[in-house]
Structure 1
């Protein structure tokens, strides 16, 4: 993966240090190629496909970032890619996916509807299906984020990770618990779509909300079976954050860190910024998972944060 994937910075945030009483390091996957960590798992998976599989092409479903990762990896390998995305996917993600050479089909109102359409296409065409999270090769690729963090910031005692289907969280947990098992791994979900948190804490799944969220990149109704097994075995806790907290963290990153971060990428920041960790962490690492934010939604983001009274207050 080294010739393809950036080794992204892991930098301390002076402002977060002051606000939290912890040394906070940000792993900036928003600066990754395609704007998120997803290219890591996609490239790892596609690199393992046989020539016969590549000849039949690739199909995937995505809320946006996985699509770009698969499209770029497919372009590098010379394999045609068809991506199914929900109709509400930010235009910036749709356009970027097409610019990487993929065919994009907008289907349904959620990732799960797009996923069903992609699986139907796979059955019809025999194309190779590249799952966004529930695949060991994908999980292994995402694990390289944590491997880099442990090299760049070896003194961390906690790593905070956004979670939708669970690929990044599962990969982080595997890497951390093998290399530095004493480090705590905390998953973060949007409260509006908190399926992993529900499973982790044994909540009745029928009571789990599945609502619109500014963190559309982690809006997944059903987490993966493989990712769930890994998360239950190796993750220390899974917590949730509100829409207002995510929105205010997007603004915080823009105003104080001078970085545009999408809702999914800001979710883990929100957990630390708004003091949701269930313990004090002296040296906290946060995975800022992506930066593909639709700039046209910035004012709406500010309105959401203002409802909480936190906009421009840092």
Structure 2
């Protein structure tokens, strides 16, 4: 073994400094915004008083956790967080794969670029803008959709007073905004499939649906499982913008739209309860960590290649 190979083996980082330099901003961001704030976990176990600081506040053990889980809102918030996030995971997975398969069938390059641009464009909208756009449709008095329903059926639909409508509205809005991005991920995976597989299937008499079922879907399965594992790991962390700005924080909709993140936000802004908010954050992280490990282990039981790690 020559000296050059020994030097590379002893200093593997030196031969990859370009990649390290490219990743450095992301590493710094994660360290600053993900690792440094972990010091605040201590607040979850203290009777935190801002004037006394983290060090001066008294320890109270698990009292903050007990206070949250014994509150009258705990069951409703946990039910909404888990139920709606599970629904969004399933709906977004199906929509992303479905539209990726449709894009894969488009052969005209210009048409493909148009479809991809149209689908991806809503991803750049902020949730504040999406909420305002939805208000123009669903406003009780001047909304376009409510006006059409009132003129056609004579029925007044109170979208912002009846919470159960939002079991349909929220998934539709999430799919409309995010499917363009997720479908491109699956579409990029489909582009790496060897075209000869489809040609062989066609020669054997397979239809397009059979090719999708026996070639495309199995090829996408590892990507689907990996993204689902990551999504399940965040199932206790709802998309704050979706659940706060889209339903406009209307209290009448809380039976459906109130989730852990919006509850914590109100606890901070209205009550200034830092300790309980920190306790909920610790609970979310702990549950997410366990779910990632469990889901990853379960997926590897079916196929070792499906595991995330």
TM-score tier by shorter-chain length is under 0.3
1 or 2, which has the higher helix percentage? Answer: 2
Q: Report the TM-score, using the length of structure 2 for normalisation.
A: 0.23
Q: Which has the higher contact order (CA 8 A, sep 6+)?
A: 2
Report the TM-score, using the length of structure 1 for normalisation.
0.23
Structure with higher Rg: it is 2
